[in-house]
Amino acid sequence: MDARIEIFWQAVAVAMAMIVGSLILGCLLFIRVEQNLYKAKFTLFASSQFAYFMLMFASIFLMNAGGVAGSALDGSNEGGHYILVAKGRQTEVTQAYWEWTLLGEYLSRILMFVIVLTIAGIIAHAKFREYGRYLISRTLAPRGPHPYLNNMQALPFEDQFRNWLRASLSDGPPADVVGFAFNLYEPGDDPDSKFGVELVGADEFKLHDSDWPCEEIWEPNTRGLHIPRNYSGDDWEGCLAKLRELLKEVLAGDSVAAQTLRSVEGVGLGFVDGDLEIVWHRPAGE
């Protein structure tokens, strides 16, 4: 086997060992710092950052210091002579030094490739999540109000909201629903409503992660309720604040809808393409 190919695969093996070792070291370090395994997800995230910092440092060091006398990639190893090349200048070195230099150059490039690929993946994932977070869920059911809701138009929105909840939760969600999410959205097809609210159920609930509603498994027959413009106004943050207070009032009551909402692990509220805040969650230990 050619020496360059053999050293390349050695560099791949070393890079894999460095990645795994950095992750393990990061996990051990941050678990010891936090002393709380409940934060395991954040520990893994922090340890990953630590690992990539270490790998980037190692890569830069190898790239700048690994071949001080020159580059083995640009050099040669023919006829028993091992040549490094730096800015057109050739330097003959020992076989061991040439092999270590070549290993360092391969290793630095592999680590940088892994780092760049990971960063690109994170950016692509964030952009995709921003665009398609609820794109599929929004196409599953129309957001227009159910015909029977037309009879509620004369009622104050607070009463419309309670009636909608009662109708939506009358049969109860599936047993595997562990979290409810109320999503504020812009219907776009109703001149009298700037915003609407929809209800979905998810099979997971995470107190410190606003992505859990993406795993929705349930929706009521009447998924969405349009909010009259005279109640919501044109500012989504103001509308969200009013909806938050209304939802808290409902959750504090003893209605069947309130009891159903409190039967799961948590209830969230947020704009459909934004962050989700937890309006209510079951206390730990219950």
10 Å Cβ neighbour count for 55? 22
**CB 22, CB 55: distance < 8 Å:** yes
Q: If you write DSSP's letter for every residue of 66-87 in order, what string do you get?
A: TTTT-EEEEEE--TT-EEEEET
pLDDT at 20: 78
Separation of alpha carbons 193 and 226, rounded Å: 6
Separation of alpha carbons 93 and 69, rounded Å: 9
For 118, the token pair is: 């990971």
10 Å Cβ neighbour count for 52? 20
Residue type, 264: V
Nearest 5°: phi and psi at 147? -55, -35
DSSP 184: E
Pick from 59, 60, 65: nearest CA to 101: 65
DSSP 253: S
State whether residue 268 is helix, strand or coil. strand
pTM, to two decimals: 0.50
**CB 187, CB 143: distance < 8 Å:** yes
pLDDT at 185: 92
Separation of alpha carbons 206 and 46, rounded Å: 18
Number of H helices, E strands in the chain: 8, 9
The CA-atom distances, in angstroms, between 140 and each of 126, 181, 200, 216 are 23, 16, 11, 11
For 146, the token pair is: 């159910």
Looking only at the bridges linking them, the beta strands covering 224-227 and 276-281 are: unpaired
The CA-atom distances, in angstroms, between 33 and each of 7, 27, 139 are 38, 10, 44
Instruction: Identify the band that residue 179 occupies on the pLDDT scale cut at 50, 70 and 90.
Output: very high
Q: 12-21, 180-189, 261-270: which has the highest mean pLDDT? A: 261-270
Domain residue limits, the chain = 3-132, 137-281
Separation of alpha carbons 6 and 76, rounded Å: 15
Give the residue with greater pLDDT, 187 vs 148: 187
pLDDT in tens, 49-108: 666 667 666 666 665 554 455 566 666 776 677 777 766 677 777 878 778 777 778 777
Work out the average pLDDT over 210-228. Answer: 87
Interior angle at CA 181, CA 36 and CA 263, nearest 5: 75
pLDDT at 94: 80
